[in-house]
């Protein structure tokens, strides 16, 4: 019986405690995307709040926008967030945020406060992917995107699609950004977002009922970040070069010119399905040399050259063309990085791993040393398959004629 | 066979008239007592009486095998003896019934009569004969109502324990099948049979069953449930520690595994002991179907049990505390359903679960004809109207329905009933503490489970305590082919643990090899 007497106060405890952090699903505002802007000495935070009824099939209201966008401002991040309760009925819920868009001005001011909130708060997930926008971040969040109901999720899927198909950009999660900025070189690169097309914003759901939209969001240019500030932008081609150099190419298509046609006509292309880049630093005479070894393989997708691909020699020839094309892309990327003196490739990291002592001495002035590094490329491309046709359309035609 | 106090015995009087009067008096003049007095051709000088209870005897047998021989048959000269030897002579030469016994006192006579035997008395003898003419109206052997299988024997126990024993005897044709009868119930004198396989079942367990049965002192036993509550190890537990079945093949299988079966007259449900947690997940069909299918189904069953206990609790915990665990799109669609729902998730879940329990109970008690009406009203009220009226969310209806259906997967009804109650505890804990509450509850449940025993056998064996011999897992989560199940369940401490000599498939000769 004593056992039962003990149980009673325990049961009472159950009723006293608990439930304190209980939140019902209709008490939270799920935020799909957050925007960070810096305006007149204040942080302006923009939230893209999902309206569940507009999305679920039950509601059926397809002609209303599925998200609502509003901003709050404050001298610090969380003070701005806490002001949200003055204009929304629900608790802001950040755990399902898919993307963060940082405005160019905010990035120039410094991303440290943003990153600090992510290190400190448990409701901020580090799997959020980060973008930089040339204009204001709010503008990006207001734009509706065709096919997808939630623009935030759409942009997140856009970068995943890009990563898997052309690798000009890669998804940068807060986690990755923190790794980079707290890592060896304190530098990272973020994909940029722009609104292209006319100035007309797509902010009403009806506008999506047209077959084409006057403006759209697209991934464009790579932002280089040193320490926590925006240093400069490099274009899409240069970005691809950086991805090749830093071993972040997953799958991409490389257009190339066949020898016979000359440089101008890049009318053939290969689908790279497998690529790996290794960095080997070498110190000789006080000067750094970086050996970049690339091995890539893929399938020929398009071939408009004259060669006979049924012969191994010709295939090797084509591979050499592709190798030089990749080398050109990488050179382009390297030149851009040299110009901005931001080691987003990870040369510094490779050096630190091999030459730890030397690195600790020179790490302070690495940005100055970086442009002087000599880059030696060695690229090995293997054509796994030339596709279902060996000769090519034109050759077949000629064969018939002659 | 019977347990009566020696002090209460009333010896027969030599006067037949006096004995008959006493019996009539003892029954309070009940009209179903038939007393037939006559003078037999065998001994015309002495009056003979046949006494029995109408309705529980087979009148045809009485007429043909008792009445007629007694009335018409002349005893052969060498058997004709005077005085008290008449009964002996009747027994050996006249009454043509298998089981005839001589009894010495009135209480025995009364007891046998209520058991469906007839008592034969002769004037001048202070003794009586009983002849087994048991019979009367019984429900015939039919398909089991509660435990159906697609493949396997299709006969079930009935209310008559003798029939039930015969059903098991027909499966296990061995003299090792030992059966002991007990009478329990001061008023009902119910026959309780204990069955075990001598040489396989542990003597200690058999003795323990006897000991516990002997300790029962109650006025009546109407069903095996009475016995179960008396002999189970732990009363205050939600988990059943005795398994029951109405299938003779299940009982036979249990006996072969070394368990002890208890059958109660008047109930088609027999008990099996000892029982461990995992035996409740074994359906008789597991052993008749191919082993791979049986294993798959058994895994499904374990999953469904977990679902039927945990699913509503998980839903509550995730939607009120751990929204970040859901995929975003799922979260949004759940959130959309919850828009405008007035109750917290926990209240919503309790409401729906209780509604379901009410519907289920109503469906059970309803006369057959009204059953469909209940299901229509239930489906409409629960499924559609509640959602349309915005009282509960559609997601909750799905959760509750799936939980309810999972519950019906369990082959043993009493184990399924357990999960119905535990589910509520888990839901409340989830509503108060979220996942933390669920984990605490699961831990407490496991602690409770490992503390249970069934006739001394740990309830969670062979999982906890761990197996002491090899090969205990061959018939727990999956069922291996029959030839691989070498040993009987380890935990029963058997005298003869081996089912087969080895775990090898008997070699088969292929047709093509012959040449």
Of A24, A50, A123, the CB nearest to B344: A24
Assess contact for A129 and A172: CB atoms under 8 A.
yes
Residue B65 to residues B52, B55, B114: CA-CA distances in angstroms? Answer: 14, 17, 20
Residue B1: per-residue pLDDT: 40
Query: Residues 322-351, chain A: which have Cβ within 8 Å of B?
Result: none
Q: How far apart are CA B264 and CA B205, in angstroms?
A: 19
Nearest residue, CB atoms, A18 vs list B323, B324, B433: B433
- Residue reference for tokens 């204990």: B194
Q: What is the C-alpha radius of gyration for chain A, rounded to an integer number of angstroms?
A: 26
Contact assessment for residue B407 and residue B424, using Cβ atoms and an 8 Å cutoff: no
Q: Rounded CA gap, B153 and B286, in Å?
A: 13
Chain B residue closest in CA terms to A67 = B332
Task: Answer yes or no: do B323 and A96 touch at CB < 8 A.
Answer: yes
Q: Given CB atoms, is A32 within the 8 Å cutoff of chain B? A: yes
Residues of A in contact with B332 (CB under 8 A): 30, 50, 52, 55-56, 150
- The answer to whether B246 and B268 are in contact (CB under 8 A) is yes
Mean pLDDT of A42-62: 79
Find chain A residues with C-beta within 8 A of B324's C-beta. 95-96, 123, 125
A279: pLDDT confidence band, cut at 50, 70 and 90?
very high
Taking phi over 0 as left and psi of -120 to 50 as alpha, with beta for the rest, A154 belongs to alpha
* Neighbouring C-beta atoms of residue B479, cutoff 10 Å: 23
Give the DSSP letter of residue A373.
-
Looking up tokens 């206990």 gives B309
The domain locations on chain A are 25-234, 246-391
ipTM, two decimals = 0.83
Tell me whether B448 touches chain A (CB under 8 Å).
no
Q: Please give the pLDDT value at position B15.
A: 86
B133 burial type by CB count under 10 A (0-12 exposed, 13-18 middle, 19+ buried)? buried
A129 shares contact with chain B (CB less than 8 Å): no
> Is the minimum CB–CB distance between A28 and chain B shorter than 8 Å?
yes
In chain B, what residues touch A14 (CB-CB under 8 Å)? 432
- Min CA distance, A55 vs chain B (Å)? 7
What long-range pairs does A155-159 form, CB within 8 A, spacing at least 24?
A155/A33, A155/A98, A155/A99, A155/A101, A155/A131, A155/A193, A155/A217, A156/A98, A156/A99, A156/A129, A158/A217, A158/A219, A159/A129, A159/A131, A159/A191, A159/A219
Confidence at residue B471, expressed as pLDDT on a 0 to 100 scale: 63
- pLDDT band for B2, please (50, 70, 90 cuts): very low
CA-to-CA distance for A156 and A401, rounded, in angstroms? 52
The three-state secondary structure class of A55 is helix
- Chain B residues with CB-CB distance to A32 below 8 A: 328
How many other CB atoms are found less than 10 A from the CB of residue B85? 12
DSSP B31: T
More confident residue, A75 or B46: A75
- From the list B321, B332, B345, the residue facing A55 with the nearest CB is B332
Per-residue model confidence (pLDDT) at position A263: 56
Name residues whose C-beta falls within 8 Å of residue A74's C-beta, 6 or more positions apart in sequence: A42, A43, A45, A80, A81, A82, A83
Number of cross-chain residue pairs from A and B with Cβ atoms under 8 Å apart? 73
Task: Looking at the complex, report in whole angstroms how far the Cα of residue B310 sits from the nearest Cα belonging to chain A.
Answer: 19
pLDDT band, very low/low/confident/very high, at B63 (cuts 50, 70, 90): confident
**Inter-chain CB proximity A25 and B319 less than 8 Å:** yes
Which residues, numbered 54 to 83 in chain B, qualify as contacts with chain A under a Cβ-Cβ cut-off of 8 Å? none
A226-275: per-residue pLDDT in tens? Answer: 988 999 999 999 999 999 999 999 999 999 887 665 555 788 899 999 99
Which residues of chain B have a CB within 8 Å of the CB of A1? none
Query: What is the per-residue pLDDT for A162?
Result: 92
Output B59 or A278, whichever has higher pLDDT. Answer: A278
Asked if B144 and B248 touch (Cβ cutoff 8 Å), the reply is: no
pLDDT for the residue numbered B4: 46
In chain B, which residue's Cα lies nearest the Cα of A30?
A: B332
What is the rounded CA–CA span in Å between residue A172 and residue A188?
A: 9
Which residue carries 């009935």 as its tokens?
Answer: B158
Mean pLDDT of B184-191: 91
Query: In angstroms, what CA-CA distances link B497 with B490, B491, B504?
Result: 7, 10, 17
Q: Which residue of B has its CA nearest to A32?
A: B328
Q: With CB atoms and an 8 Å threshold, state whether A26 touches B319.
A: no
Enter the CATH code of domain A246-391: 3.30.300.210
B447-486 pLDDT, tens per residue?
A: 999 999 999 888 998 888 876 666 678 888 999 999 888 8
Mean pLDDT of the B25-40 span: 87
- Using a CB–CB cutoff of 8 Å, tell me whether A188 touches chain B: no
Task: Calculate mean pLDDT across residues B324-335.
Answer: 89
Is 50 exceeded by the pLDDT of residue B6? Answer: no
pLDDT tens-digit readout, B109-167: 888 888 888 898 888 778 888 888 888 888 889 998 888 888 999 999 999 999 999 99
CA A118 to chain centre: 18
Q: Do A30 and B335 count as a contact with CB atoms less than 8 A apart?
A: yes
The Cα–Cα gap between A211 and A103 comes to 30
Distance in Å, alpha carbon of A316 to nearest chain B alpha carbon: 47
- Nearest Cα to B315, choosing from B338, B298, B297? B338
Residues of chain A contacting B344 with CB distance shorter than 8 Å? 22, 24
- Inter-chain CB proximity A25 and B338 less than 8 Å: yes
Residue of B nearest to A28 (CA): B335
What digits encode the pLDDT tens for the residues A7-32? 777 777 766 665 667 888 888 999 99
Mean pLDDT value of segment A329-334: 93
Give the pLDDT mean for A210-236.
90
Distance from CA of B347 to the nearest CA of A (A): 12
From chain B, the residues in CB contact with A30 under 8 A are: 328, 331-332, 335
């Amino acid at each position: 019986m004593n056992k039962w007497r003990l149980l009673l106060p325990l049961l009472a405890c159950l009723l006293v405690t608990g439930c304190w952090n209980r939140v019902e699903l209709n008490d939270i505002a799920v935020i799909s995307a957050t925007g960070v802007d810096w305006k007149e000495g204040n942080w302006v935070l923009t939230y893209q709040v999902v309206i569940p009824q507009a999305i679920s099939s039950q509601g059926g209201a397809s002609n209303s926008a599925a998200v609502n966008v509003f901003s709050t401002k404050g001298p610090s991040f969380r003070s701005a967030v806490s002001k949200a309760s003055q204009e929304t009925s629900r608790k802001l819920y950040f755990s399902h945020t898919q993307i963060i868009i940082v405005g160019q001005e905010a990035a120039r001011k410094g991303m440290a406060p943003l990153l600090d909130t992510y290190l400190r708060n448990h409701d901020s997930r580090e799997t959020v992917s980060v973008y930089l926008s040339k204009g204001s971040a709010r503008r990006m969040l207001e734009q509706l995107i065709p096919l997808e109901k939630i623009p935030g999720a759409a942009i997140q899927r856009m970068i995943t699609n890009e990563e898997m198909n052309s690798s000009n950009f890669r998804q940068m999660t807060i986690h990755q950004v923190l790794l980079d900025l707290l890592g060896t070189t304190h530098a990272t690169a973020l994909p940029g977002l722009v609104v292209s097309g006319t100035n007309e914003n797509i902010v009403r759901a009806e506008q999506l009922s047209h077959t084409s939209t006057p403006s759209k969001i697209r991934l464009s240019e790579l932002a280089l970040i040193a320490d926590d500030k925006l240093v400069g932008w490099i274009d899409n081609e240069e970005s691809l070069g950086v991805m090749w150099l830093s071993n972040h190419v997953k799958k991409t298509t490389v257009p190339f010119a066949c020898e016979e046609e000359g440089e101008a006509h890049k009318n053939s292309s290969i689908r790279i399905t497998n690529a790996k880049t290794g960095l080997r630093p070498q110190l000789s005479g006080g000067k750094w040399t970086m050996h970049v070894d690339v091995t890539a393989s893929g399938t020929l997708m398009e071939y408009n050259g004259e060669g006979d691909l049924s012969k191994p020699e010709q295939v090797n020839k084509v591979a050499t063309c592709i190798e030089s094309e990749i080398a050109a892309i990488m050179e382009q990327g390297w030149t851009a990085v040299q110009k901005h003196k931001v080691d987003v490739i990870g040369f510094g990291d490779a050096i630190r791993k091999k030459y730890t002592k030397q690195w600790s001495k020179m790490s302070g002035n690495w940005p100055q040393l970086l442009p002087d590094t000599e880059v030696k490329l060695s690229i090995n491309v293997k054509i796994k398959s030339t596709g279902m046709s060996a000769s090519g359309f034109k050759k077949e035609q000629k064969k018939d004629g002659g | 066979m019977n347990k009566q106090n020696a002090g209460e015995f009333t010896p027969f009087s030599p006067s037949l008239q006096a004995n008959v009067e006493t019996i009539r008096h003892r029954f309070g003049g009940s009209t179903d007592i038939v007393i037939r007095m006559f003078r037999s051709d065998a001994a015309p000088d002495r009056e003979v009486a046949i006494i029995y209870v109408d309705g529980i005897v087979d009148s045809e047998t009485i007429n043909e095998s008792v009445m007629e021989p007694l009335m018409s048959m002349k005893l052969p000269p060498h058997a004709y003896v005077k005085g008290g030897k008449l009964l002996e002579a009747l027994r050996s030469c006249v009454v043509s019934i298998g089981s005839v016994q001589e009894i010495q006192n009135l209480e025995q006579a009364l007891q046998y009569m209520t058991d469906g035997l007839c008592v034969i008395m002769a004037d001048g003898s202070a003794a009586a004969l009983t002849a087994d003419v048991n019979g009367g109206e019984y429900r015939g052997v039919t398909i089991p109502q509660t435990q159906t299988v697609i493949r396997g024997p299709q006969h079930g126990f009935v209310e008559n324990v003798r029939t039930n024993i015969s059903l098991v005897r027909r499966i296990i044709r061995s003299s090792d099948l030992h059966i002991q009868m007990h009478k329990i119930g001061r008023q009902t004198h119910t026959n309780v049979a204990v069955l075990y396989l001598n040489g396989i079942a542990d003597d200690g367990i058999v003795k323990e069953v006897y000991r516990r049965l002997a300790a029962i002192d109650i006025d009546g036993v109407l069903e095996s449930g009475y016995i179960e509550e008396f002999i189970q190890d732990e009363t205050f537990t939600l988990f059943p520690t005795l398994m029951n079945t109405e299938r003779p093949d299940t009982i036979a299988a249990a006996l072969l595994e070394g368990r002890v079966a208890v059958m109660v007259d008047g109930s088609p449900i027999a008990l099996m002991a000892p029982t461990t947690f995992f035996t409740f997940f074994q359906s008789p069909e597991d052993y008749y179907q191919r082993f791979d299918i049986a294993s798959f189904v058994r895994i499904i069953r374990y999953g469904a049990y977990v679902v039927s206990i945990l699913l509503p609790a998980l839903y509550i915990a995730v939607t009120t505390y751990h929204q970040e665990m859901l995929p975003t799109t799922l979260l949004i669609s759940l959130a959309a359903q919850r828009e405008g729902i007035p109750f917290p998730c926990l209240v919503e879940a309790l409401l729906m679960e209780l509604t379901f329990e009410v519907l289920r109970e109503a469906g059970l008690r309803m006369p057959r004809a009204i059953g469909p009406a209940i299901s229509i009203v239930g489906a409409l009220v629960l499924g559609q109207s509640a959602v349309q009226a915005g009282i509960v969310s559609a997601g909750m209806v799905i959760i509750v329905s799936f939980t309810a259906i999972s519950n019906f997967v369990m082959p043993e009804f009493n184990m399924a009933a357990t999960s119905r109650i535990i589910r509520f505890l888990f839901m409340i804990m989830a509503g108060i503490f979220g996942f933390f509450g669920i984990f605490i509850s699961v831990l407490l449940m496991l602690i409770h489970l490992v503390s249970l025993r069934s006739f001394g056998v740990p309830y969670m064996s062979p999982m906890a305590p761990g197996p002491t011999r090899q090969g205990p897992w061959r018939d727990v989560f999956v069922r291996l082919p029959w030839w691989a199940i070498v040993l009987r369940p380890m935990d029963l401490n058997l005298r003869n643990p081996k089912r087969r000599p080895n775990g090898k498939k008997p070699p088969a000769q292929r047709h093509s090899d012959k040449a």
